[in-house]
């Protein structure tokens, strides 16, 4: 089981559980076609973002295989929510997990995604004792591939 102590701080970021008050910031990036194009869903309207936010709010601990941590990425100096970071416990038997991240495009190119993802890796390896953590991405998403490379994750063709 992994129940992190919140908030989790890095040099420039704070990772924390989502709250109902995050709806506007979440919908600001979830509604964008340029964000959704590499994800598993279409741009979300406000009501759909609210439905998914309700789920994100509950995802604060890993108790069993299939559970996920879904954390808000906020800027340490302003508190502004700029995206989300995810850690899924995919296999208890094989000690495996998966990370994910989404950032509002206004915050691309500043190194925030690897900074947040590094914390999710730390939680998975040190906090949960995982053996392997993967990051799936659309092959066309070269920016996300660079994030995984910065984290020294190996690439594997589909």
Instruction: Convert the pLDDT of each residue in 59-118 to its tens digit.
Output: 999 999 999 999 999 999 999 999 999 999 999 999 999 999 999 999 999 999 999 999
User: Is residue 158, in this structure, part of any structural domain at all?
Assistant: no
Mean pLDDT estimate for the chain = 95
> Is the peptide bond preceding residue 117 cis, with omega within 30 degrees of 0?
no
Domain count for the chain: 1
Q: List, as one string, the DSSP characters of 122-149.
A: HIIIIIT--SEEE----TT-HHHHHHHH
Tell me whether residue 31 is in a domain.
yes
CA 24 to the chain's CA centroid: 18
pLDDT at 100: 95
Q: For the CA atoms of the chain, what is the radius of gyration?
A: 15
Does residue 113 lie within any of the structural domains?
Answer: yes
Confidence check: pLDDT of 157 > 70: no
Structural domain includes residue 128: yes
The pLDDT of residue 84: 98
Report the distance separating Cα 64 and Cα 102, nearest Å: 24
Range 39-56 burial, b when 16+ CB lie within 10 A, else e: eeeebbeeeebeebbeeb
> Residue 155: pLDDT above 90?
no
Q: Are 119 and 15 in contact (CB under 8 A)?
A: yes
**pLDDT class of 6 with cuts at 50, 70, 90:** very high
Q: Domain holding 115: CATH number? A: 3.40.630.30
Q: Is there a domain that residue 1 lies in?
A: no
């Amino acid at each position: 089981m992994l129940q992190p102590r919140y908030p989790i701080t890095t040099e420039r970021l704070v990772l924390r559980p989502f709250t109902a008050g995050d709806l506007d910031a979440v919908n600001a990036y979830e509604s964008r076609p340029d964000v959704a194009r590499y994800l598993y869903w279409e741009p979300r309207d406000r009501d759909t973002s609210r439905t998914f936010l309700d789920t994100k709010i509950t995802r604060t601990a890993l108790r069993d295989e299939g559970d996920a941590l879904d954390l808000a990425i906020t800027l340490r100096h302003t508190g502004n929510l700029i995206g989300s970071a995810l850690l899924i416990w995919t296999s208890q038997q094989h000690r495996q997990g998966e990370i994910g991240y989404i950032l509002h495009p206004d915050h691309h190119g500043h190194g925030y995604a690897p900074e947040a993802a590094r914390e999710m890796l730390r939680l998975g390896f040190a906090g949960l004792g995982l053996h392997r953590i993967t990051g799936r991405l659309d092959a066309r998403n070269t920016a996300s591939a660079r994030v995984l490379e910065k984290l020294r994750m190996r690439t594997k063709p589909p």
